[in-house]
Structure 1
Amino acid sequence: MKKLVTGIAMLLTGYAGFAADYFVKSEKEFTEADKHAIAGDNIIIANGSYAPWTVKFTANGSALRPIVIKAQDAGKVIFSGEVTQTIFKITGNYTQLQGLNFNNCILNKANGKNGLLIDLNNTKHSRITNCTFQKNSAKVQFMPLVIISGEGEHNQVDHCSFISNQDEQDLQVQINSPKFPTYTLISDNLFSDKDKVSWKVFNGGECVQIGQDPVLKGTAMAKTTVRNNQFIRCNGEGEVISNKSSGNNYTNNYFEDCQGELVMRGGHDCLIDSNQIKGGTGGIRINGSGHVITNNIISGVRTGIRLMYGMSKGKTETGFYVAATNCVISNNHISKADVGILVGDNKNQDWTGKFDTNKYPSRVIQDIPPADNQFKNNDFTDTKQTIVYK
């Protein structure tokens, strides 16, 4: 039953078992629908092109009856233009955002606020699905399009497309200890055609970032799963996926011709399993302890797997980089590489003046080698050097 968001129509939603469709064409109508929506209702945004909204959705669905916010027709609700606040901030539980198109949005900062397309904030069991994010950009470094934030759990981003976005981070799970999201699922998305960032320091162009501070918050157990995604020609920076927290799983993802790697920048006890990396500059880079890197297929890169030196080791010492220790590297197949597995990259790298030692009380030389790692049943073909120790 489709309803306008006015008058008596909204009163009908209060009856038990009744589900309403709210048809909205403006921020005002959307906000009014939020006041009255109950589990099982649909909020349908009329087809059309819109300047960015600034709306917050607080209503709660249920496990069996989520509230769905969706385009009238998938892909035909298009948001474009300068964004200086959050377009959709979802705080209600069991809410689904579906079928929206964000095209040529320009993220910026104004009046102390940051432009953002979607924020799943403190919500549980909410979902972003079948949305398109294309040709969006940021005017300030380190600005994401989509974030999962606050003390949420079991939220999901799936079957979305992130295409030709520039100078931004596509998707971020925000780790602000002691409260941060857990059990996030990022699955079946496409990330493609991301050009190198234009920033002076080539950083801030990740497709997926799980955590932001690997030095002080890397031990946070985010327990995120990133699976069944495709990364095609993702060249924004050296970290296509940037892991900066602990207990995360990266499984069955496909990378092709990316100028970057699947990177454990920090954190511990992550699983990197059954990913395929074809072409590009590199494969998997490892800092931290207790990771399991297994069953991955890597071909046509300079180095398949790199285990890095650090300024510290283990989970209790503070280091701007933590040496790769106590990891298991097993059953990986590496072909057509210059080096299959490199144990000990960035030896004696000097970081003097490159980070704030007051904020990060770390030594500045990467001189602690990888240690106590296990290498089992890895297979190499057409690889110039199989395992190299530095």
Structure 2
Amino acid sequence: MKKIILYLLLLCATPQVILAKSYQIKSEKEFKDILSKLVAGDEVIIANGNYTNWNIEIPNKGTSAKPIFIKAQEISKVTFSGDINQTLFKLAGDYIILSGITFKKCTLLKGGGLIELKNSVNCQITNCLFLENTVKTQFTPLVIVSGNGKNNKIDNCTFTANVDNQDLQVKITKESCPQNTLIEKNIFTNKQKVSWKNGNGGECVQIGQDPVLLGLQEAKTIVRENKFINCNGESEVISNKSSGNSYLKNYFENNDGELVMRGGHDCIIDGNTFKGGTGGIRINGSGHTITNNKITNIKTAIRLMYGMGKGKQEIGFYIVASNCVISNNQISNATTGILVGDSKEVDWTGKFDTVRYPSPVMQSIAPFDNKISGNTFLNTKTEQVNQ
């Protein structure tokens, strides 16, 4: 009897194991009906089929050991398409993984995106396809990371032939700056020139939006091992407009655009490969490190730009390239390897709001205090030009 009583007491004292549940849903309503029930370890399986114009916000919290999964029943067989006037999926919790969903021929009628990670922590978008989607409002991204979340990840997704849009945006405002976003092993391909009159709003990846007033924000985003092929949306394939980011081991081929440090400081550009296209790396700002990149068959491989202001204290619509390290890069089949001092004395009168941005209008400050050494050149007409 004593053994039985002891066993019962131990059983009562042992925490009960809550088994994870799997929910299969086939409508927005069914998803919303189970939202309040989702706990760590649960999964939501979206049944194979075609869908449009959902609006699901997911504030639930998984854990590192037991994330919440939201996934297609079968990869490539769950497709969202048609007119979209609201964000389809908004991940606003912790440890949520969205995977295997296709977004094809969606027409985004308003600003916003298809997916937003807002104030999310350790959430992930993986193995999703974004194909032939179109936006009707300039500067609209398909995927947005926003708010004051951290440690989110977008990986192994494909962005192909999307029109007039930005593909992936880390959104920075005066009030918010997502931290430690990882953008890894995605493919960006076949992006045509945007139709907007000023030619802007077609980046594949944009980290920050306002280099003049918010470029000092440190997002600490890592963009690593992605492929950019035939991406011609605008002159900036990647647009960096914040500080402390890293661009590592990415592959660029035949793009009508560059990897651009449009604003911000102290970024790392290391181990990237550029083959063909109109440009390589363009540098504004201070403290960047540009090392171990391979650039071939590009007219001007690396450009260090004039500016209207300098350093981290002065306001300038463009900040001059300074205190950067450019070393151990391999440049071949170029007209100019490294151009120090592009856009000299360019006049921006009437081209930006000098009330909002109290900046001089002339790019009159030459690059300074940059350390350029150990670069190798093959079949390059001029290795370095200083203007």
TM-score interval, smaller chain: over 0.9
Question: Is residue 267 of structure 1 aligned with residue 268 of structure 2?
Answer: no
Partner of 2:130: 133
In structure 1, the gaps of 5 or more residues are 1-14
Partner of 1:198: 195
Instruction: For 2:246, give the aligned amino acid.
Output: N
Q: Distance in 1 between matches of 2:218 and 2:319?
A: 17
Displacement of 1:17 after TM fit? 2.9
Partner of 1:276: 273
Displacement of 1:31 after TM fit? 1.1
Instruction: For residue 66 of structure 2, give the secondary structure of its aligned residue in structure 1.
Output: coil
Question: Is residue 321 of structure 1 aligned with residue 321 of structure 2?
Answer: no
Question: Is residue 348 of structure 1 aligned with residue 345 of structure 2?
Answer: yes
Partner of 2:284: 287
**Aligned residue among 169, 187, 191 for 2:166:** 169
Partner of 2:90: 89
Instruction: For 2:20, give the aligned amino acid.
Output: A
Deviations 1:223-271 (A, max 9, x none): 0000000000000000000000000000000000000000000000000
**Aligned residue among 258, 264, 267 for 2:255:** 258
Instruction: For residue 36 of structure 1, give the secondary structure of its aligned residue in structure 2.
Output: coil
Q: Distance in 2 between matches of 1:315 and 1:24?
A: 51
Partner of 1:332: 329
CA contact (8 A) 1:163 1:191 kept: yes
Q: Distance in 2 between matches of 1:331 and 1:126?
A: 36
Instruction: For residue 31 of structure 1, give the secondary structure of its aligned residue in structure 2.
Output: helix
Partner of 2:113: 116
Partner of 2:241: 244
CA contact (8 A) 1:229 1:252 kept: yes
CA contact (8 A) 1:84 1:116 kept: no
Instruction: For 1:66, give the aligned amino acid.
Output: P
Q: Distance in 1 between matches of 2:290 and 2:155?
A: 24
Displacement of 1:115 after TM fit? 4.0
Q: Distance in 1 between matches of 2:262 and 2:55?
A: 34
Displacement of 1:376 after TM fit? 1.2
Deviations 1:307-345 (A, max 9, x none): 000000000100000000000000000000110000000
Cα separation, partners in 2 of 1:319 and 1:105, compared to 1, 3 Å: same
**Aligned residue among 178, 182, 187 for 1:185:** 182
Q: Distance in 1 between matches of 2:112 and 2:49?
A: 22
Instruction: For 1:76, give the aligned amino acid.
Output: K
CA contact (8 A) 1:232 1:257 kept: yes
**Higher gyration radius (CA):** 2
Instruction: For residue 86 of structure 1, give the secondary structure of its aligned residue in structure 2.
Output: coil
Displacement of 1:293 after TM fit? 0.1
Instruction: For residue 215 of structure 1, give the secondary structure of its aligned residue in structure 2.
Output: helix
CA contact (8 A) 1:206 1:240 kept: yes
Q: Distance in 2 between matches of 1:33 and 1:262?
A: 43
Instruction: For residue 63 of structure 2, give the secondary structure of its aligned residue in structure 1.
Output: coil
Instruction: For 2:91, give the aligned amino acid.
Output: I
Displacement of 1:177 after TM fit? 2.4
Partner of 1:3: none
Question: Is residue 71 of structure 1 aligned with residue 68 of structure 2?
Answer: no
Q: Distance in 1 between matches of 2:220 and 2:253?
A: 26
Q: Distance in 2 between matches of 1:282 and 1:338?
A: 12
Instruction: For residue 35 of structure 2, give the secondary structure of its aligned residue in structure 1.
Output: helix
Instruction: For 2:343, give the aligned amino acid.
Output: N
Instruction: For residue 44 of structure 2, give the secondary structure of its aligned residue in structure 1.
Output: strand
Question: Is residue 387 of structure 1 aligned with residue 384 of structure 2?
Answer: yes
- Which moved further from structure 2: 170-179 or 227-236? 170-179
Partner of 2:5: none
Partner of 2:366: 369
Q: How does 1:50-61 map to 2 (within 5 A)?
A: 50-61=51-62
RMSD across aligned positions (CA): 0.8
Q: Distance in 1 between matches of 2:49 and 2:346?
A: 53
Percent sequence identity over aligned pairs: 58
Q: Distance in 1 between matches of 2:237 and 2:307?
A: 21
Partner of 2:9: none
Partner of 1:214: 211
TM-score for the superposition, normalised by structure 1: 0.94
Instruction: For 1:179, give the aligned amino acid.
Output: S
Instruction: For 2:241, give the aligned amino acid.
Output: K
In structure 2, the gaps of 5 or more residues are 1-15
Displacement of 1:80 after TM fit? 0.3
Q: Distance in 1 between matches of 2:33 and 2:361?
A: 54
Partner of 2:155: 158
Displacement of 1:87 after TM fit? 0.6
Give aligned pairs, total. Answer: 372
